[in-house]
């Protein structure tokens, strides 16, 4: 819902004030300014181990606190950032900020906690030294590389881009984990699984939202989970909004859940408090709302 609000906010300005091209340039200029002025921030959404109910991981989600338009979600500015190449600088910022925060949480609250960051194809493609720079940075933070998962959407490696494929493999070679995001929404999900070693598969929200009523989606989710497990891949269900969805997916052996039912994306401080609270709890989901 907040995504819709944000989009309206922008589109309310765009057509009235400026021609489309002018608007795009304006947006790019604002993005650059925003980066320099530290208007970006990360929210973190819990990823819960379905068996134990514990928040074992979080996904870092980018937000732009625009001085005029309020908080903007990534769908509103990532495409422009990708088109312009600014995604490289923005993505570097995300990587550094997220890992700095992860190191703090592991130190203070949860030693085994992990983080997922989204990486766009263009970002991997465009940055010459990204992989080595990132590894150096992790080392500076004394962070194990396997505490970090890189989320990519399919399509990244299937457009014949060898260099990007090589970078993904280098990241994995260095111990980072790779998640295939929004699984099932593209044309080539299955051939991707065949070609690249994946650690996690994230079932897209569109397969989860009509559970458990939809017989089709029940079959698809069960089959995806079974197939992934046979390939040695762990499964995260996205967009889990109800207790019934959680129960169904857990019953099918799904490993992790992410969605409003476990928690909305929240600021770093709130997630830190959640981790502290869970540290002293035997059964965190037992205390979850809606239970
Ligand atoms: P994603 O990686 O698939 O992230 C999940 C999106 O689903 C997030 O939207 C999250 O707020 C939303 N979501 C989570 N649980 C639920 C739920 O139970 N119900 C519903 N209806 N929605 C839920 P958000 O934050 O707007 O991000 C949208 C997309 O933007 C992300 O999709 C990701 O592809 C991209 N993105 C976010 N941060 C970054 C970033 O730092 N870099 C890049 N390149 N892309 C990013
Ligand atoms: Mg993601
Ligand atoms: Mg996703
Ligand atoms: Mg998604």
Q: What is the mean pLDDT of residues 172-176?
A: 93
- Position 12 scores a pLDDT of 45
Ligand 1 site residues, Cβ closer than 6 angstroms: 3, 45, 61-62, 73-75, 78, 91, 94, 118, 120, 151, 181-182, 205, 239, 241, 258-260, 265
**pLDDT for res 16:** 52
pLDDT band at 2 (very low <50, low <70, confident <90, very high): very low
Task: Report pLDDT for 196.
Answer: 81
- What pLDDT is recorded for position 65? 96
Interval between CA 153 and ligand 3 midpoint (Å): 8
Q: What does the pLDDT average to over 9-30? A: 68
Per-residue model confidence (pLDDT) at position 154 = 72
Contact 10, 72 (CB under 8 A): yes
Residue in 34, 74, 201, 209 to alter for ligand 1 test, most ligand atoms within 8 A of Cβ: 74
Q: What is the 3-state secondary structure (H, E, C) of 106-174?
A: HHHCCCCCEEEEECCHHHHHHCCCHHHHHHHHHHHCCCCHHHEEEEEECCCCCCCCHHHHHHHHHHHHC
Regarding predicted confidence, which is higher, 165 or 132?
Answer: 132
- Proximal ligand: closest to the CA of 74: 1
What pLDDT was estimated at residue 158?
58
User: How much is the pLDDT for 120?
Assistant: 85
Residue-level pLDDT at 281:
84
d(CA 8, CA 157): 33
Q: What is the pLDDT of residue 253?
A: 98
The pLDDT of residue 46 = 98
Using the predicted structure, report yes or no on whether residue 179 has a pLDDT greater than 80: yes
Atom number of ligand 1 nearest to Cα 61: 38
Given pLDDT bands bounded at 50, 70 and 90, which one contains residue 23?
confident
Q: Is the pLDDT assigned to residue 134 strictly greater than 70?
A: yes
Least confident stretch, 40-49, 190-199, 224-233, 248-257:
190-199
The answer, yes or no, to whether residue 283 has pLDDT greater than 70, is yes
Helix (H, G, I), strand (E, B) or coil at 183: strand
Contact 254, 237 (CB under 8 A): yes
Is the bond preceding residue 96 a cis peptide, omega within 30 degrees? no
Averaged over 7-24, what is the pLDDT? Answer: 59
CA dist 274 and 284 (Å) reads 10
Which ligand sits nearest to residue 265's alpha carbon? 1
Q: What is the pLDDT of residue 84?
A: 86
Atom of ligand 1 nearest to the CA of 81: 44
Over the stretch 78-122, which tens digit does the pLDDT of each residue have?
988 988 889 999 999 999 999 999 999 999 989 999 999 999 877
Res 3 pLDDT > 50: no
Share of the chain above pLDDT 90, in %: 65
Percentage of the residues of the chain whose pLDDT score is greater than 70: 89
Determine the pLDDT at residue 6. 44
The ligand 1 atom nearest the CA atom of 204: 3
Identify which has the larger pLDDT, 290 or 45. Answer: 45
**pLDDT above 70: residue 156:** no
What is the predicted pLDDT for the residue at 8?
47
What is the structure's pLDDT at 290?
43
The average pLDDT across 70-77 equals 93
Q: 163: which residues sit within 8 A by CB, 6+ positions away? A: 125
């Amino acid at each position: 819902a907040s995504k819709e609000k944000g989009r309206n906010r922008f589109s309310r300005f765009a057509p009235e004030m400026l021609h489309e091209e002018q608007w795009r340039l304006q947006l790019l200029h604002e993005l650059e300014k925003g980066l320099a002025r530290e208007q970006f921030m990360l929210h973190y959404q819990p990823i819960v181990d379905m068996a134990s109910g514990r928040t074992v991981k979080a996904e870092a989600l980018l937000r732009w606190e625009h001085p005029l338009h309020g908080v903007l979600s990534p769908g509103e500015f990532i495409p422009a950032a990708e088109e312009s190449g600014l995604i490289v600088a923005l993505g570097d910022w995300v990587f550094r900020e997220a890992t700095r925060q992860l190191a703090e949480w592991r130190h203070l609250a949860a030693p085994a906690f992990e983080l997922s960051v989204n990486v766009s194809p263009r970002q991997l493609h465009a940055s010459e030294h990204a992989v080595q720079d990132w590894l150096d940075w992790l080392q500076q933070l004394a962070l194990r590389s396997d505490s970090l998962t890189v989320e990519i959407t399919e399509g990244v490696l299937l457009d014949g881009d060898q260099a990007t494929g090589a970078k993904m493999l280098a990241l994995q070679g260095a111990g980072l984990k790779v998640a295939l995001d929004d699984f099932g929404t593209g044309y080539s999900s299955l051939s991707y699984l065949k070609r690249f070693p994946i650690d996690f598969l994230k079932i897209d929200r569109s397969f989860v939202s009509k559970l458990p009523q939809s017989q089709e989606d029940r079959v698809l989710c069960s089959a995806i989970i079974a197939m992934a497990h046979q390939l040695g891949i762990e499964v995260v269900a996205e967009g889990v909004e109800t207790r019934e969805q959680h129960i169904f997916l857990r019953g099918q052996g799904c490993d992790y859940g992410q969605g409003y039912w476990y928690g909305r994306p929240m600021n770093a401080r709130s997630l830190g408090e959640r981790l502290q609270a869970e540290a002293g709890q035997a059964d965190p989901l037992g205390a979850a709302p809606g239970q």
